[in-house]
């Protein structure tokens, strides 16, 4: 299990197990936040707690951040899928480095093509140093 929290500790998340990859997205929002996402479904593989404020982007996604320290903690789909599950992704940069350092990076071109790009061998630690 992985855990993360904002800088002041008010907002927390838990990820059951270890994600297969951390997504680096270059969309207009993610590149500004500098986040690395790990995905699952709310209440299944990921649980979140603490008060947040949200920034709603379009009709599909809401970005949640701590109202005290400003850290972006997670995004959540606004609508559940056909099975009633809500997609969510936590910001791995809020976890302790040793626990996530070796997770491979998955790149997503959210700016131009909206497609996954091939892995290039980098991992989370390569994005921090």
CA–CA dist 59, 97 (Å, integer) = 33
Q: Is-above-0.85 flag for pTM?
A: yes
Listed as own residue / partner, the contacts of 20-23 with beta carbons closer than 8 Å and 24 or more positions apart are 20/104, 21/103, 21/104, 21/105, 21/106, 21/119, 22/92, 22/100, 22/103, 22/104, 22/105, 22/106, 22/123, 22/124, 23/89, 23/105, 23/106, 23/107, 23/108
- Express each pLDDT in 15-52 by its tens digit: 999 999 999 999 999 999 999 999 999 999 999 999 99
Strands in the chain per DSSP E:
2-5, 12-15, 22-25, 37-41, 46-49, 53-57, 61-65, 72-77, 87-91, 105-109, 115-117
- Express each pLDDT in 68-123 by its tens digit: 999 999 999 999 999 999 999 999 999 999 999 999 999 999 999 999 999 999 99
Architecture in CATH for domain 2-128:
Beta Complex (2.170)
pLDDT at 58 exceeding the cut of 90:
no
């Amino acid at each position: 299990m992985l855990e993360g929290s904002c800088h002041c500790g008010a907002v927390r998340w838990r990820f059951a197990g270890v994600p297969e990859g951390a997504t680096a997205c270059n969309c207009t929002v993610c590149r500004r936040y500098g986040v690395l996402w790990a995905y699952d479904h709310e209440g299944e593989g990921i649980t979140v707690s603490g008060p947040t404020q949200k920034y709603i982007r379009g009709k599909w996604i809401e970005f949640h951040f701590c109202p005290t320290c400003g850290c972006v903690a997670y995004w959540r789909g606004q609508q559940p899928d056909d099975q009633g599950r809500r997609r969510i992704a936590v910001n791995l940069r809020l976890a302790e480095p040793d626990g996530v350092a070796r997770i491979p990076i998955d790149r997503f071109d959210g700016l131009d093509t909206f497609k996954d790009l091939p892995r290039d061998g980098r991992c989370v630690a390569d994005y921090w140093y």
